[in-house]
């Protein structure tokens, strides 16, 4: 199996994701250039964090038009696995591959710190190594992480069990105090109707080695390997 990590102008977590995949999965990984349509026969695509195209207009608003994203949409429509992390989540929403939008944090400040997220759904290719209710400690680093959607979309996400992660405290309780950015319903990550596209604001690649302070992020990458191996 082979992973691909997209590089946009302004990406700054692409090498982090590349390294984390190597260390956590020991599987081949390659970089994918934003200006190319070629996914290089990758089995899973990572849309990494950073500031694609400087976050001009809106976060992800320009990146969605990159040639590589046209290929990523087709890849996902065919069932391919796509993980969007932080800015990658924003890009997937702008591209219409996930519903909703990421707005400015409620405090209007950039937040960079470890947070706890509770696993709400382990029946996805990204969480099959977890148990429902597991609490993962994974860092966030964003200014626009405040997830929002309309009432109808939120109801659909709940009814279809597509809310994958919620911000929680260390005991797994969903509280307003544990919500770092004002996200609707404490949402930290959602998936597509087909379960093959995941967007999450926390950075699993920054929690993939003991030297980084924790390895909870490895569960995301290990789950992807297990899902690909089961295909």
- Helices and strands in the chain: count of H runs, count of E runs: 5, 11
Rg, C-alpha atoms of the chain: 16
pTM of the model: 0.97
Distance of CA 195 to the CA centre of its chain: 13
Would you say the C-alpha torsion 96, 99, 100, 101 has a positive or negative sign?
negative
Alpha-carbon distance of 10 to 207, in angstroms, equals 22
Please give the pLDDT value at position 56.
Answer: 87
Tell me how many domains the chain contains: 1
Please give the pLDDT value at position 191.
Answer: 98
Please give the pLDDT value at position 57.
Answer: 84
| pLDDT (tens digit per residue) in 95-117 | 999 999 999 999 999 999 999 99
* Strand-strand pairing, 44-47 and 3-7: parallel
User: Residue with structure tokens 């405290």?
Assistant: 169
Please give the pLDDT value at position 74.
Answer: 98
In 3D space, the residue among 29, 23, 60, 52 whose CA is nearest the CA of residue 42 turns out to be 29
| pLDDT (tens digit per residue) in 54-85 | 988 889 999 999 999 999 999 999 999 999 99
Alpha-carbon distance of 181 to 206, in angstroms, equals 19
Alpha-carbon distance of 113 to 90, in angstroms, equals 19
The alpha carbon torsion through 169, 172, 176, 182 (nearest 10 deg) reads 90
Please give the pLDDT value at position 96.
Answer: 97
Which pair of tokens denotes residue 167?
């911000």
Mean pLDDT, rounded, of the chain: 97
Enter the DSSP assignment of 147: E
Mean pLDDT in residue range 22-27: 92
9 with 34: CB under 8 angstroms?
A: yes
Q: What is the CATH number of the domain that holds 164?
A: 3.40.50.880
| pLDDT (tens digit per residue) in 124-170 | 999 999 999 999 999 999 999 999 999 999 999 999 999 999 999 99
Alpha-carbon distance of 55 to 159, in angstroms, equals 32
- Catalytic residue numbers? 86, 203, 205
> What domain range is 141 assigned to?
3-230
Q: With a cut of 90, say whether residue 182 has pLDDT above it.
A: yes
Which pair of tokens denotes residue 35?
């200006």
Q: What percent of the chain has pLDDT over 90?
A: 96
The confidence band for 231, taking pLDDT boundaries of 50, 70 and 90, is confident
Q: With a cut of 90, say whether residue 190 has pLDDT above it.
A: yes
Please give the pLDDT value at position 217.
Answer: 97
Please give the pLDDT value at position 48.
Answer: 98
Order the strands of the 187-191 sheet from edge to edge: 29-33, 3-7, 44-47, 81-85, 197-200, 187-191, 163-168, 111-119, 135-142
* Strand-strand pairing, 81-85 and 197-200: parallel
């Amino acid at each position: 199996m082979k992973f691909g990590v997209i590089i946009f102008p302004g990406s700054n977590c692409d090498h982090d994701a590349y390294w984390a995949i190597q260390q956590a999965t020991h599987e081949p990984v390659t970089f994918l250039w934003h200006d190319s349509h070629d996914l290089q026969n990758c089995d899973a695509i990572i849309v990494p964090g950073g500031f694609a195209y400087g976050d001009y207009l809106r976060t992800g608003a320009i990146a969605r038009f990159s040639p590589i994203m046209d290929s990523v949409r087709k890849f996902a429509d065919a069932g391919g696995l796509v993980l969007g992390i932080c800015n990658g989540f924003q890009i997937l929403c702008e591209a219409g591959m996930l519903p909703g939008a990421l707005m400015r944090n409620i405090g209007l400040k950039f937040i960079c710190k470890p947070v706890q997220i509770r696993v709400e759904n382990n029946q996805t290719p990204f969480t099959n190594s977890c148990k429902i209710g597991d609490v993962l400690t994974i860092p966030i680093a964003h200014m626009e992480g405040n997830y929002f959607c309309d009432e109808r979309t939120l109801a659909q996400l709940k009814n279809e069990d597509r809310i994958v992660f919620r911000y929680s405290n260390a005991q797994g309780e969903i509280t307003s105090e544990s919500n770092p950015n004002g996200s609707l319903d404490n949402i930290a990550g959602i998936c597509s109707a087909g379960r093959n596209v995941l967007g999450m604001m926390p950075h699993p690649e920054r929690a993939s080695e003991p030297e980084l302070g924790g390895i909870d992020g490895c569960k995301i990458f290990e789950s992807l390997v297990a899902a690909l191996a089961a295909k």
